[in-house]
Amino acid sequence: MLTIAGHTFRSRLFLGTGKFSSAEILKQAIEAAGSEMITVALRRVNLDDPADDIMRVLDRTRYVFLPNTSGARDAREAIRLARLARAAGSGDWLKLEVTPDPRTLLPDPVETLKATEELVKEGFKVLPYINADPILALRLQDVGAAAVMPLGAPIGTNRGLLTRFQIEIIIEQARVPVVVDAGLGAPSHAAEAMEIGADAVLVNTAISVAGDPVRMARAFALAVEAGREAFEAGLGASRREAVASSPLTGLDFIQR
Amino acid sequence: MKIICNGQTKETRDGISLHDFIRESGLNPGTVVAECDGVIIRREDYETCQLKENSMVELIRFVGGG
């Protein structure tokens, strides 16, 4: 089982809650995914639509809420969002996200490291969203990150595990769980991340914008389970040349 | 009196508590987090936090996000 900051999770599929067409579909997708870790964002209340409240459908006692700091452009803004999230009653969990460039939404490594240091001191369980940089991952675990969340591809792109080589190094070196976050667009991408030893994956867009988000949530759950099982079973080595699966002997009757 | 809430000017009664203001805005104080003049107000202090003329209030809540 997966343990992050002393909390145990049966499911290795974390689910983002953005861009679902309705609260009801979101609720069903969470059930189908079997997720126990759910990300949320913090935004100003729209005073003209006060009833639009996602917390109506999310049972806080059943899931760990992982608020993100999306929208933060530097450490200062991320820290302010983190404190607000804690005041909102989400506990100490935090997906730290510092993305100064709206075009790429790539995370700022310097500000992410600074904010992690500060927030760990304040008692947060910090899961920083990072580019797939093995050195940064080490630096973050050294300052007390509870896990690291390297991206497979930029947020919302559905392009898969483009950073596989670096993620393999991160996994090799990590003393904290590695959660592959962002860019996983198909169950096969999630399975691939799990097969190379990721501890979990976080998926949002690929599920929320699918033709049938509830079935896609189930598809991802199956893929994550399959990928993990394969990792634990131990994949066979890959080779350049063929190795026969059937015996090469006992063919005398046909090979004259 | 007037206060500024989420960037909008709102007319409300003198000395209203943060808790009542949130309620009267049609919101659930249990799921909203509030900042008053740049300071985060703890939920247990919503009832005793009195708004003043020109108080700057930010009401924030969780929304769907990755």
Closest CB from A54, A55, A204 relative to B66: A204
Domain A2-233 adopts which CATH fold? TIM Barrel (3.20.20)
pLDDT given for residue A51 in this prediction: 75
pLDDT given for residue A213 in this prediction: 97
A92 Cβ contact list (under 8 Å, min separation 6): A86, A123, A124, A125
Render pLDDT for B14-52 as a digit per residue (tens, 0 to 9): 989 999 999 999 888 888 999 999 899 998 999 999 999
Three-state DSSP class for A75? helix
Q: How far apart are the C-alpha atoms of A186 and A223, rounded to whole Å?
A: 9
**Partner-chain contact B66 A47, CB within 8 Å:** no
List A40's β-bridge partners, or say none. A67, B64
**Partner-chain contact A54 B62, CB within 8 Å:** yes
ipTM of the complex: 0.88
**Partner-chain contact A45 B60, CB within 8 Å:** yes
φ, ψ (nearest 5 deg) of residue A51 = -80, -10
pLDDT given for residue A193 in this prediction: 98
Any catalytic annotation for residue A125? no
Render pLDDT for A44-79 as a digit per residue (tens, 0 to 9): 998 888 777 777 778 878 899 999 999 999 999 999
pLDDT given for residue B17 in this prediction: 93
**Partner-chain contact B62 A67, CB within 8 Å:** yes
Q: How far apart are the C-alpha atoms of A190 and A216, rounded to whole Å?
A: 12
Cβ of residue B4 closer than 8 Å to a chain A Cβ:
no
Give A15: exposed, middle or buried? Use CB within 10 Å, 0-12, 13-18, 19+. buried
Judge contact between A175 and A144, C-beta under 8 A: no
List A203's β-bridge partners, or say none. A15
Q: How far apart are the C-alpha atoms of B48 and B61, rounded to whole Å?
A: 21
Domain boundaries, chain A: 2-233
Query: Which one from A19, A27, A95, A121 is the annotated catalytic residue?
Result: A95
pLDDT tens digits for chain A (256 residues)?
A: 999 999 999 999 999 999 999 889 999 999 999 999 999 999 999 888 877 777 777 887 889 999 999 999 999 999 999 999 998 877 899 999 999 999 999 999 999 999 999 999 999 999 999 999 999 999 999 999 999 999 999 998 999 999 999 999 999 999 999 999 999 999 999 999 999 999 999 999 999 999 999 999 999 999 999 999 999 999 999 999 999 999 989 998 988 7
Cβ-Cβ contacts under 8 Å, B59 against chain A: 44-45, 47
Q: How far apart are the C-alpha atoms of A94 and A96, rounded to whole Å?
A: 6
Cβ-Cβ contacts under 8 Å, B41 against chain A: 87
Global pTM?
A: 0.90
**Partner-chain contact B66 A70, CB within 8 Å:** yes
Is the four-CA dihedral A8, A116, A191, A208 of positive or negative sign?
A: positive
Judge contact between A95 and A67, C-beta under 8 A: yes
Domains, chain B, ranges and CATH?
Answer: 2-60 (3.10.20.30)
List B17's β-bridge partners, or say none. B50
Q: How far apart are the C-alpha atoms of A26 and A49, rounded to whole Å?
A: 19
pLDDT given for residue A26 in this prediction: 93
What are the b/e assignments for A167-192, b being 16+ CB within 10 Å?
bbbbbeebebbbbbbbbbbbbebbbb
Q: How far apart are the C-alpha atoms of A199 and A14, rounded to whole Å?
A: 11
Helix (H) or strand (E) holding B21: helix B18-24
For A79, the token pair is 């820290």
Q: How far apart are the C-alpha atoms of A206 and A187, rounded to whole Å?
A: 9
pLDDT given for residue A57 in this prediction: 79
Cβ of residue B47 closer than 8 Å to a chain A Cβ:
no
| Residue in A with minimal Cα distance to B10 | A47
Strands A37-44, B33-36: parallel, antiparallel or unpaired by DSSP? unpaired
Cβ of residue B66 closer than 8 Å to a chain A Cβ:
yes
